[in-house]
Amino acid sequence: MQKIAFTLASATAFMLGSTAVQADVIGIYASADYWNVSGTSEVAKTGTAQQAFDHQDKGLASFAVSVEHPAPLIPNARVRHVQLKRDDSAQSSGFDFANSRFFDSRLETDLASTDLLAYYEILDNIVSVDIGLGAKLLNGDLSVTSNSIAINSQTVKIKETLPVAYASIGGSLPFTGFSAKAEAIVGQNQDARTSDLQAEIKYNFVDNIAVDLGLKAGYRMLKIELDNVKNTDGTLDFKGPYLGLEIHF
């Protein structure tokens, strides 16, 4: 009886200990960034000359959540989202968009970009390396509106799912709170191509066993190329510096 009690107590202690260890190595990373975007967009009806619209600086909010766990065969998960909203004007000698011809006009972009990624950590030390696959979801509108007295507006709906490859490399400077990271997402389908690149430096001003909280600064470049999407060609280019906060618990 004593042996059975001892065995049950040992097993219970082992299970509780294993659960605690497992909980310690499951990590959740959440971040929010303020992205100061500039760049150029070019659009037109497929097969015609594209019109360039220069972006004025505008702040956009970007959010990301990653979940990492100890299971060796199951990938980690990352979700990142930004709402690409622009409103830019251009004068031209004339260009075609959808079913109309425009001269003095305005391009309004309202496009959600959401990344759904599954990845593995192949290094996780002072230097970290992640690689994975996933999808970039693009969903929204491109609208061109005439600025002249004769009001005319045309809207093209964008809804694309692009298979993508993901890679990230980072490193930390021990005992300082400083770290750096660069990541890339690239992919395409038959109608569109994308590259989404960023690099950042982070300083953890809270770093303890319960939670890490860091301030980060970086630069992001997102390009989306459309090839005969709803009879529309275009290159949407968003780039600029960002500031953000990341919490890890």
**What are the angstrom distances between the C-alpha of 166 and each of 35, 79, 80, 224?**
21, 12, 12, 16
pLDDT band of 16, cuts 50, 70, 90: very low
pLDDT for res 149: 64
In a domain, 17, yes or no: no
Residue 8 pLDDT exceeds 70: no
What pLDDT is attached to residue 150? 65
Residue 3 lies in a domain: no
Which DSSP letter does residue 191 get? S
What is the pLDDT, as a whole number, of residue 108? 92
Q: What integer is the mean pLDDT of 86-107? A: 87
Whether 6 is in a domain gets the answer no
Query: Which band of pLDDT confidence, cut at 50, 70 and 90, is reported for residue 4?
Result: very low
The domain that holds 127 is classified in CATH as 2.40.128.90
Q: What is the mean pLDDT of the chain?
A: 88
Question: Is the confidence at residue 17, as pLDDT, over 70?
Answer: no
> Alpha-carbon distance 86 to 226, whole Å?
17
- Looking at residues 133-149, what average pLDDT do you find? 92
Residue 123's domain comprises 27-248
CA distance 169 to 126: 11
22 inside domain: no
| Cα dihedral across residues 27, 33, 39, 40: positive or negative | positive
Residue 5: inside a domain: no
Residues 64-94: tens digit of each pLDDT: 999 999 888 999 999 999 999 988 888 777 8
Report if residue 19 sits inside a domain: no
Cα distances from 6 to residues 36, 104, 125, in angstroms, run 62, 84, 39
What confidence tens digit (pLDDT) does each residue in 199-229 have?
Answer: 999 999 998 888 999 999 999 999 999 999 9
Asked whether residue 231 is assigned to any structural domain, the reply reads yes
Question: 39 by DSSP, 3-state: which?
Answer: strand
User: Does residue 212 lie within any of the structural domains?
Assistant: yes
- Would you state the pLDDT for residue 125? 87
Number of structural domains (the chain) is: 1
